[in-house]
Amino acid sequence: MKKTLIFAIALPLAMAMAGCGSSTPKENNKDKSQDQQPTTEVVETPQEVAQEAEPEVKEPKFPWDFPEGNKNEGLEEGQTILSIQSFYPNALKEKDNPANETYIFYNAILTSVGNTQSSVRYFGEEIPMPNALIIPIPADQQAKKGDIVLTWWQSGSGMQRAIVKDASNPSAPKVDYLDLNYKEDGKGFANEHADEQLKPNSFVVLKDGEWQPGAQVVVSGDGSFDVGTLISCTDDKVLLKCFAGKIRVFKRSACKLIPLKQNLKPGDEVMSIFAGSMKTGYKVKKVDEKIGRVWVEGSFGDDIVNILEVYKL
């Protein structure tokens, strides 16, 4: 009886203790699991900040007051041309005043013709060039002795005018270069490269009195007389390659063509080139029509010039 009473009291007490012991760990585990959950921080999204507009990139403009798309007569795909493709694109992008840079006209191949610009192939590269700066060299030109032609220095480089000395092969005449330096002692570049034979399709015959690329032009104004090689022209403007390779624009009304044939003789009063412009006060001492050279004397000294660098008064 006594044992039964003790058991009856002990059993509820044990159950109560077991119930209390199991509830405490559950609540602790719950609290710990909540503490261990990763915390996600809520960050307020700021209002979108308006981006500053990028500066407008402007395409470089043609730097001369002359129509960029002016085509010289006879511009055709696949032909040989003369242009300044080696210098112009970089000068246009990198120089503050590209109109005042020095430019040299080299030969290249025209691959396409556009309204304003055309494509020129030079050493495997396709280069866009303004039409006004492209001089065509038409194919199948025939020359005769005494003709003046526009070409390039074929054992050197750069645009040249030349006088034909031997036209036994009219498609490939032998010439003396007029725009190379000539010296009495025979040591000038023109002397050293005399009688050079031109390749076929590498020249164009200049015609007296025609406003064609390669013609020599004298410009009058304010008592000075500029001179240059015609690149392109319109009814009222001319684009010239002048002293030191500068390209300049003049009013056509102020320009005159220097004749290819002036019938010069000793004693004639002429203008002659000096430091890139024509000066008065010269007289002809001697003329050698075969090589296209004129010996002059005047207030700026004696000189030997080519027949395109004197102007008979």
Burial of 303: CB neighbours in 10 Å, binned 0-12, 13-18, 19+: middle
pLDDT tens for each residue of 115-138:
999 999 999 999 999 999 999 999
- Cβ atoms of 130 and 69 closer than 8 Å: yes
Q: Over the range 193-213, which residues count as b (16 or more CB within 10 Å of their CB) and which as e?
A: bbebebeeebbbbbeeeebbb
CA gap 194, 176 in Å, rounded: 5
Global model pTM greater than 0.75:
yes
Point out the least confidently predicted range of 28-42, 227-241, 268-282.
28-42
Q: Give residue 20's pLDDT.
A: 43
Q: Pairing mode, if any, of strands 303-306 and 247-251?
A: unpaired
Is the pLDDT confidence value at 31 over 60?
no
Of the candidate ranges 47-56, 177-186, 234-243, 256-265, the one whose mean pLDDT is the lowest: 47-56
Residue 274: both structure tokens together:
């000096």
Burial of 106 (0-12, 13-18, 19+ CB in 10 A): buried
- What is the pLDDT confidence band of residue 46, given thresholds at 50, 70 and 90? low
pLDDT at 299: 86
Quote the pLDDT of residue 235: 97
Arithmetic mean of pLDDT, 243-263: 97
Amino acid in the structure at residue 68? E
- Can you tell me the distance from the alpha carbon of 53 to that of 219, in angstroms, rounded to the nearest whole number? 48
Percent of the residues in the chain that have a pLDDT greater than 70, as a whole number: 81
* Percentage above 90 pLDDT, the chain: 79
More confident of the two residues 22 and 278 = 278
Q: Per-residue pLDDT averaged across 88-107, rounded?
A: 96
Phi then psi dihedrals of residue 298, to 5 deg: -175, -165
* Integer Cα distance of 159 and 192 in angstroms: 17
- The H or E element that residue 300 is part of is none
Per-residue pLDDT tens digits for 172-182: 999 999 999 99
- Residue 103 pLDDT more than 60? yes
**Confidence check: pLDDT of 41 > 70:** no
pLDDT at 192: 97
Mean pLDDT over residues 223-249, rounded? 97
Contact 269, 282 (CB under 8 A): yes
Q: Is the pLDDT of residue 14 over 70?
A: no
Cβ-count burial of 7 within 10 angstroms (0-12 exposed, 13-18 middle, 19+ buried)? exposed
What single DSSP character describes residue 97? -
| Distance set, CA 223 to CA 77, 83, 127 (Å) | 43, 32, 40
The type of residue at 61 is: K
Res 221 pLDDT > 90: no
Alpha carbon of residue 3 to chain centroid:
120
Q: Which of 26-30, 84-88, 97-101, 195-199 has the lowest mean pLDDT?
A: 26-30
pLDDT (tens digit per residue) in 160-171? 999 999 999 999
